[in-house]
Amino acid sequence: MSDKNAPIGVFDSGIGGLTVVREIMRQIPNEKIVYFGDTARVPYGNKSRETVTRFSRQIVRFLQTHGVKTIVVACNTASAYALDELEKEIDIPIIGVVKPGAKAAAQATRNGKLGVIATEATIGSRIYNQYIQELNPNVTIWGKACPLFVPLVEEGLLQDPVTDEIAKRYLSELIDSDIDTLILGCTHYPLIRSAIGRIMGEQVTLVNPAYETAMELKAMLTKRELLNTDAPGLGSNQYQFYVSDTTDKFIRFANSIIKYGILSAKHVNIEEY
Ligand code: DGL
């Protein structure tokens, strides 16, 4: 039986999952978080199901060494490829970002025309199509893989003409399809939300699944009586960050995304898990 004071484990292939962490911190500020970013092996989005599942298993094992009470797969690619397998293998609750994102998008669309931008893996899996159509069979969905967005974000080119130019090329066919809602189906993409929003125009609602994921996490913890109601005391090491590559770059990025003051991150040899 998990302890409600135990931390929440969160992982992604890199820094994208911090957009989910940011939302969890906002919505359930008493929780402790252990974050793992697989910065040595990013991107996941062009890798096979087998590889992404193997990587995800190792990360889950690592997070479990921290006694986490639940795991949030803050990566659409790992949610699409590995979540079902992981769910069968562990005895703590685990949630992904795709289902909450699909729910938010199905509710947001007014004209029934929806776009999804994500990695090649997520688009190829058609997982968003499946979940959205289960909720609302009358919507039409356009999927577009945007493989260059993840390296652009990992390189910190968040406000850059190169990012704008590539976004224009990727998004032009979605503009032509008259969608009114666009799912940012990769946790890296909210970091270039302003570029995407400028190109799509203000008539298109951008859905960031992070918000709904944090809501679903809170509801799940509450239902299982696992929500931490006590504020963690000073020096409790509330937020811990681990990466599989060098820590300096990660700390710089993390501090630009999370206004919390992340002073340290530790390197982990994830292949050992
Ligand atoms: N941020 C991840 C996602 O949500 C993975 C990006 C990648 O590593 O390709 O899909």
Instruction: Return mean pLDDT, the chain.
Output: 95
pLDDT digit string, tens, across residues 196-250? 999 999 999 999 999 999 999 999 999 999 999 888 877 778 999 999 999 999 9
Place of tokens 């859905």: 207
- Cα–ligand 1 centroid distance for 137 (angstroms): 27
Residue 135: beta bridge partners? none
Integer Cα distance of 159 and 63 in angstroms = 33
- Of the chain, the end-to-end C-alpha distance in Å amounts to 23
Q: The whole model's pTM is what?
A: 0.95
Residue 57 Cα to ligand 1 midpoint, Å, equals 16
Please say whether the beta carbons of 182 and 205 come within 8 A.
yes
In this prediction, residues 80-95 reach a mean pLDDT of 97
Annotated catalytic, 146? no
Q: Region 97-103: what's the mean pLDDT?
A: 97
The tens digit of pLDDT for each residue in 151-167 reads 999 889 999 999 999 99
pLDDT score, position 1:
55
pLDDT in tens, 119-143: 999 999 999 999 999 999 999 999 9
Question: Of residues 8, 42, 72, 75, which has the active-site annotation?
Answer: 75
The ligand 1 site (C-beta within 6 Å) comprises 12-14, 16, 42-45, 75-77, 119, 122, 150, 186-188
Distance 60 CA to ligand 1 centre (A): 16
